[in-house]
Chain A
Amino acid sequence: MFEYIWLVPLFPLIGFLVIFFNFRRLKGVTAGVLASIMVFIPFVISLFFFFGLMNGAEAKTVELFSWISFNKLSIPFSFLIDRLSGLMLLIVTGVGFLIHVYSIGYMKEDAGFNRFFSYMNLFVFFMLLLVLGSNYLILFIGWEGVGLCSYLLIGFWFKNQEFNNAAKKAFIMNRIGDLGFLLALFMLIHQFGTLNFAEIFSKSSAIPVGTFSITMITLLLFAGAVGKSAQIPLFTWLPDAMAGPTPVSALIHAATMVTAGVYMVARSNLLFVLAPVTLMTISVIGIATALMAGSIALFQNDIKKILAYSTVSQLGLMFVALGSGAFTGAMFHLTTHAFFKALLFLAAGSVIHALHGEQDIRKMGGLKDRIPVTFWLFIIGSLAISGIPPFAGFFSKDMILIGAFHSGYVLWVLSVAAALMTAFYMFRLLFIVFWGKAAVAADPKHPVHESPKSMTIPMSVLAVLSIIGGFIGVPALLGGSDRIQVFLAPLFSSSEAFLKHGAEVSESSEILLMTIPLLLILGVIFLAWSFYVKNRNIEQEEPERSFLGNLLYRKFYVDELYDTIVQKPVAGLSTFFHDTIEVKVIDRFVNQTGNLVVWIGKNIRYMQTGNVGAYLFFMVISIILILVLNLFK
């Protein structure tokens, strides 16, 4: 049955083509419904595949056609369906479908409705390619493709120059990471002679741990992931990407594209465990990102930006898990994060929609009675992300924390700190937006209203998933069967041998490890409550901040830093190259050559004198020349 895998990316591709070529003809919500169906069908197919995998079906590589093959390098265009890709398929198509349906309601008034859905379908297509590829090249095609769609969708309202800049920033930062990825591809070909996962991973078992080339390869692959998944230092594009419509932020910048980096590292786990240096780098960057982004989120006032920094922070935690060897933990958190982050973004969209475009939380307040459905959804999302049991985030975060603990106490402490920050900024957001009095008086012309069912139903589904999603990974300790660990074991088991773990953690320690963070989180939530509900004082104006506060509020001045170090010198260099070299040297050279050719052409014509005698004469001379030259060599 896996032979039909090619159907999965086919549907969104058809959706894209149909909508793209019928821009003007599709009226009303047809494009949106069509696009959603084109994601739903793959979802159903993915379900079938997933159940097959759960029941023990073997992983399979399905080759579509032999694409590149010369000399010894053969890169077929083939898909790999195994438990890891099966899981990702469900996430991409499932969450993707829900967001498509949500968008029908959200984008209804927008003039670019059709264009939006064509891009969305195209994105799903590329993401599926990324996830299904059986070699690094197809993964890379999907990788680049989602980058492109991200650019298109961030700059969707292209009339606004700032949005365009955000889109460009996203694309360029992605590209910088992609350079690393490309170099890794070349090194992979050099080292293994192939880009196919199966071949690379089986050959890697023969390689000793810690070789220079594998370390370089994995570092470069990780560089690509840094760009795609917004880690330090390539993370500033993600908050700016909030310029796009909210469903875009939900789909691309929460659930799918940004997780591509995590997926790629998880897929390549057999390579990464051979490079302990890389693993450590990943953990360090992961935790640094998690802390930095989390701390920035504490002071942000734009509802979407808070969620954006939250995403960066959560991705950092996923990388911490990867760096500690807890690959399943990372994938588990990826899954649950997709659920609750998408939910949170969609709910934020609902709030923005209700307030007719307001995104500054200081101008919100008291919405819990006005938009109750959204309110409850938001609470569920916040509880999930903060790691409160029995919501999904608890179990996945727990797995990460345990993994971090195995890596070292310091890492564990820092990860807990990041989790605490998560709880604080989420509940700060919750309390400011929904509790208290409305900061701005209601405008009778634009009443605050709840979102339509087309938006609330998908959100509700996500909310349910956020509640029960954790149950796929309940650790044995709490009486669960740790199903996701078992499910993904075949992919990660070979790596186990390489990971150095500390002493086995006793049961009692494990309980401590679970409860201490939980208690701390509850404490933090209470703290937030006291700040923002009990003694509610939301500064409307820019307050006097301490140095530290300013630093955080200005996002560590990272953007400004980049501007000085990178942007201005590059722009200067570019201007120099253009004005001097391009115009004065290259243009002149090219134009002169062209003029030369025309001049020669003009004058060479005169060889044809029109006089037969002359022709015959030239012929005879040439004949004599040829004869003489050849006979008297």
Chain B
Amino acid sequence: MKAIIALSILAVLNMFFGVRKMKKVLLPLIFIGLIITMILNISDWGKSVHYFNEMFIADNFSIAFSSVLILIGILIFMFANIYYKGVERPLEDIYALILFAIIGGIVMASFGNLILFFVGLETLSISFYVLAGSKKFDIASNEAAMKYFLTGSFATGFLLFGIALVYGVSGSFNLEAINTYILGCNGNVPMIFIAGMLLIFIGMSFKIAAVPFHFWSPDVYTGSPTLITAFMTTAGKVASIAAFYRLITIAFISLHSELTTTLTVIAVLTIIVGNLSAVYQDNLKRMFAYSGVAQSGYLLMALIVLGPKSAGILLFFVLSYVIATITAFAVLMLIREERGTFFIPAFRGLAKNNPVEAFAMAIAMMSLAGIPPLAGFMAKYNLFVLTAEGGYTWLVVVAVIGSMISIYFYFKPILASYFSEGEPQHKIESSVNFKINILVLSILMILLGFLPQVIINLL
């Protein structure tokens, strides 16, 4: 809660200073604000505080995922400097929207009541719609925004209808109360309720870009401005999967066994389609979009087997995904700026001219592909072990095959940067700050690979 208040104040302050045309203050202000928010957030650890009549629950789960979201914010703003270098138009609205999106995400990770869930979801989504179209005069950005809006609102409609049905049958919006209702039904849950529940899940599946609801994802992620794509693909997934997890484990836990088939099918499809579609992509941004779809598939696996450690493993997976993705996007942004394209040939010879960037990219790609001893490998390993122990061996087999396929496209940039001779490209100028940032992120990925238990045991 404190985090939300702090962020809101920060966003307003940000707009204030923006209106006053004090541009230089904006980013430092936001950084300080975000760090204060992070501290405030973590200070609530261990206590489970319920606000607003059980609507907003700040338990460890919510604090952990909120921290990840705030971390995403910090990382995004770290690279916003470079992305928006030399841009004349006012930026404070974009920054404010990013902050509001984070607030929406935090709400989505901490809800105790379907109403608040909806509010958080919409805050996040609407901010995303606008952010996707933030490059006003770029057709691709416009198209991305419109597509996102149309499909997103459509999905929201279903979600809402589902919530209405669930409410109607169970009599309450509160997650605990819904659970009590289900338990009270003694196995005879009305069809309408199940229909409502399924509709809610469909809405959620849309947000995490699970197949067959993923169609918006490649187009939107390709068309949006790169920094925003980085933000959406990380924050969007984190918030959504946290919300999904919360929903299942608190409200619908008793019906979980009924849902596993559907979830498994969706997860399998997602992993397969996501990985296969990414194979033939030359446009790196689009490739990341598809790979993000595949990663959602793995995230879904954590929902299928609910063990005592699944929250922790989910957190760890999400964390490693976030760090790897943002690092990759940072390098991608840099290349785009200098070379003007997202295609693989732009990466040729990167290792010779910019060893730090090439290294960071390589580590990020390998972490996503799941190469030991990086964080991504430990995350996948823990996840797969958890799923296998739950008895879903076939699912693990599919996931492993998917990972193998993903190695192909994740290694394309690495091979291009280290082993291809492009025309002698000149060195890409990047500030020392940038280099330090991505280096720190790379080291973090390596370190996390050795200490997964630290994160997993938090939850």
Let me know if chains A and B touch directly in the complex, using CB atoms closer than 8 Å. Answer: yes
Q: A626-B202, A631-B195 are in contact. Are A612 and B147 (CB under 8 A)?
A: yes
Chain A proximity mask over B402-430: 1 for CB below 8 Å, otherwise 0:
00010010000000000000000000000
Asked if A610 lies at the interface with its beta carbon under 8 angstroms from chain B, I say: yes
Asked if A526 lies at the interface with its beta carbon under 8 angstroms from chain B, I say: no
Contact of B213 among A608, A610, A622 (CB under 8 A): A622
Q: A616-B154, A622-B213, A627-B198 are in contact. Are A608 and B280 (CB under 8 A)?
A: no
Contact of B277 among A601, A615, A631 (CB under 8 A): A601
Contacts of B212 in A (CB 8 A): 618-619, 621-622
Inter-chain CA distance A627–B154, complex, in Å, is: 17
Chain B proximity mask over A594-633: 1 for CB below 8 Å, otherwise 0:
0001101110110110101011101101110011011100
User: A597 to B158, Cβ gap below 8 A?
Assistant: no
User: B276 to A601, Cβ gap below 8 A?
Assistant: yes
Contact of A626 among B154, B191, B198, B216 (CB under 8 A): B198
Asked if B219 lies at the interface with its beta carbon under 8 angstroms from chain A, I say: yes
Q: A616-B154, A626-B198, A631-B194 are in contact. Are A598 and B215 (CB under 8 A)?
A: no
Q: A605-B277, A610-B219 are in contact. Are A619 and B154 (CB under 8 A)?
A: yes
**A614 CB to closest chain B CB, in angstroms?**
8
User: A615 to B158, Cβ gap below 8 A?
Assistant: no
User: A623 to B218, Cβ gap below 8 A?
Assistant: no
Contacts of B195 in A (CB 8 A): 627, 631
Inter-chain CA distance A629–B273, complex, in Å, is: 21
Inter-chain CA distance A612–B280, complex, in Å, is: 22
Contacts of B219 in A (CB 8 A): 608, 610
User: B151 to A597, Cβ gap below 8 A?
Assistant: no
User: A615 to B151, Cβ gap below 8 A?
Assistant: yes
Chain A proximity mask over B194-232: 1 for CB below 8 Å, otherwise 0:
110011001000100000110110110000000000000
User: A604 to B276, Cβ gap below 8 A?
Assistant: yes
Contact of A623 among B146, B158, B273, B279 (CB under 8 A): B158
Task: Determine which residue in A607, A616, A622, A630 has the highest number of CB atoms from chain B within 10 A of its CB, and name it.
Answer: A630
Asked if B451 lies at the interface with its beta carbon under 8 angstroms from chain A, I say: no
Chain A proximity mask over B374-399: 1 for CB below 8 Å, otherwise 0:
00000000000000000000000000
Contacts of B150 in A (CB 8 A): 612, 616
Task: Determine which residue in B150, B215, B276 has the highest number of CB atoms from chain A within 10 A of its CB, and name it.
Answer: B215
Contacts of B408 in A (CB 8 A): 597
Asked if B453 lies at the interface with its beta carbon under 8 angstroms from chain A, I say: no
Which residues 159-218 in B have Cβ within 8 Å of A in the complex? Answer: 191, 194-195, 198-199, 202, 206, 212-213, 215-216, 218
Q: A608-B215, A622-B212, A622-B213 are in contact. Are A598 and B280 (CB under 8 A)?
A: yes
Q: A612-B147, A631-B195 are in contact. Are A619 and B280 (CB under 8 A)?
A: no
User: B280 to A630, Cβ gap below 8 A?
Assistant: no
Which residues 238-281 in B have Cβ within 8 Å of A in the complex? Answer: 258, 262, 273, 276-281
Query: Considering only CB atoms, which chain A residue lies closest to B273 in the complex?
Result: A604
Q: Is the interface of A mostly helix, strand, loop or mixed?
A: helix
CB within 8 Å: A-B pair count: 71
**A136 CB to closest chain B CB, in angstroms?**
27
Asked if B155 lies at the interface with its beta carbon under 8 angstroms from chain A, I say: yes
Inter-chain CA distance A235–B281, complex, in Å, is: 58
Contact of A619 among B206, B262, B277, B281 (CB under 8 A): B206
**A361 CB to closest chain B CB, in angstroms?**
55
Inter-chain CA distance A627–B218, complex, in Å, is: 26
Inter-chain CA distance A202–B358, complex, in Å, is: 57
Contacts of B191 in A (CB 8 A): 631
Chain B proximity mask over A365-393: 1 for CB below 8 Å, otherwise 0:
00000000000000000000000000000
Contacts of B147 in A (CB 8 A): 612, 615
Chain A proximity mask over B266-299: 1 for CB below 8 Å, otherwise 0:
0000000100111111000000000000000000
Contacts of A622 in B (CB 8 A): 202, 212-213
Inter-chain CA distance A604–B218, complex, in Å, is: 13
Inter-chain CA distance A623–B198, complex, in Å, is: 9
Contacts of A618 in B (CB 8 A): 212, 215
**B391 CB to closest chain A CB, in angstroms?**
19
User: A630 to B194, Cβ gap below 8 A?
Assistant: yes
User: A615 to B215, Cβ gap below 8 A?
Assistant: yes
Contacts of A629 in B (CB 8 A): 262
Inter-chain CA distance A597–B401, complex, in Å, is: 11
Contacts of B258 in A (CB 8 A): 630
Query: Considering only CB atoms, which chain B residue lies closest to A609 in the complex?
Result: B215
Q: A619-B213, A626-B262 are in contact. Are A604 and B277 (CB under 8 A)?
A: yes
Contacts of B213 in A (CB 8 A): 619, 622
**B51 CB to closest chain A CB, in angstroms?**
34
Inter-chain CA distance A210–B171, complex, in Å, is: 77
User: A600 to B198, Cβ gap below 8 A?
Assistant: no
Contact of A612 among B151, B218, B273, B276 (CB under 8 A): B151
Contacts of A623 in B (CB 8 A): 158, 199, 202
Contacts of B273 in A (CB 8 A): 604
User: A601 to B279, Cβ gap below 8 A?
Assistant: yes
Contacts of B199 in A (CB 8 A): 623, 627
User: A619 to B155, Cβ gap below 8 A?
Assistant: yes
Chain A proximity mask over B293-308: 1 for CB below 8 Å, otherwise 0:
0000000000000000
Query: Considering only CB atoms, which chain B residue lies closest to A606 in the complex?
Result: B277
Inter-chain CA distance A610–B147, complex, in Å, is: 9
**B125 CB to closest chain A CB, in angstroms?**
16
Which residues 96-146 in B have Cβ within 8 Å of A in the complex? Answer: 146
Chain B proximity mask over A494-514: 1 for CB below 8 Å, otherwise 0:
000000000000000000000
Q: A612-B150, A618-B212, A631-B191 are in contact. Are A597 and B198 (CB under 8 A)?
A: no
Contacts of B281 in A (CB 8 A): 605
Query: Considering only CB atoms, which chain A residue lies closest to B192 in the complex?
Result: A631
Inter-chain CA distance A607–B280, complex, in Å, is: 13
Inter-chain CA distance A631–B278, complex, in Å, is: 34
Query: Considering only CB atoms, which chain B residue lies closest to A623 in the complex?
Result: B202
User: A598 to B279, Cβ gap below 8 A?
Assistant: yes
Contacts of A601 in B (CB 8 A): 276-280
User: A615 to B194, Cβ gap below 8 A?
Assistant: no
**B304 CB to closest chain A CB, in angstroms?**
15
Inter-chain CA distance A619–B205, complex, in Å, is: 11
User: A608 to B158, Cβ gap below 8 A?
Assistant: no
Inter-chain CA distance A598–B146, complex, in Å, is: 31
Inter-chain CA distance A618–B212, complex, in Å, is: 7
Query: Considering only CB atoms, which chain B residue lies closest to A614 in the complex?
Result: B215
Query: Considering only CB atoms, which chain A residue lies closest to B197 in the complex?
Result: A630
User: B279 to A597, Cβ gap below 8 A?
Assistant: yes
Inter-chain CA distance A610–B219, complex, in Å, is: 7
**A594 CB to closest chain B CB, in angstroms?**
8
Which residues 302-348 in B have Cβ within 8 Å of A in the complex? Answer: none
Contact of B151 among A604, A608, A610, A616 (CB under 8 A): A616
Inter-chain CA distance A631–B198, complex, in Å, is: 10
User: A608 to B276, Cβ gap below 8 A?
Assistant: no
Q: A626-B198, A627-B198 are in contact. Are A602 and B280 (CB under 8 A)?
A: yes
Task: Determine which residue in A598, A605, A619, A627 has the highest number of CB atoms from chain B within 10 A of its CB, and name it.
Answer: A619
15 sample A-B contacts, Cβ–Cβ < 8 Å, listed by A number:
A597-B408, A601-B278, A601-B279, A602-B279, A604-B277, A607-B215, A607-B277, A610-B219, A616-B154, A619-B151, A619-B206, A619-B213, A622-B212, A626-B198, A626-B262
**Extra pairs beyond A600-B279, A605-B280 (8, CB < 8 Å):** A598-B279, A602-B280, A607-B277, A614-B215, A616-B151, A619-B215, A623-B202, A626-B262
Q: Which residues of A contact B (CB under 8 A)?
A: 597-598, 600-602, 604-605, 607-608, 610, 612, 614-616, 618-619, 621-623, 626-627, 629-631
- CB-CB nearest 7 A-B residue pairs: A601-B279, A615-B215, A622-B212, A601-B280, A602-B280, A601-B276, A600-B276
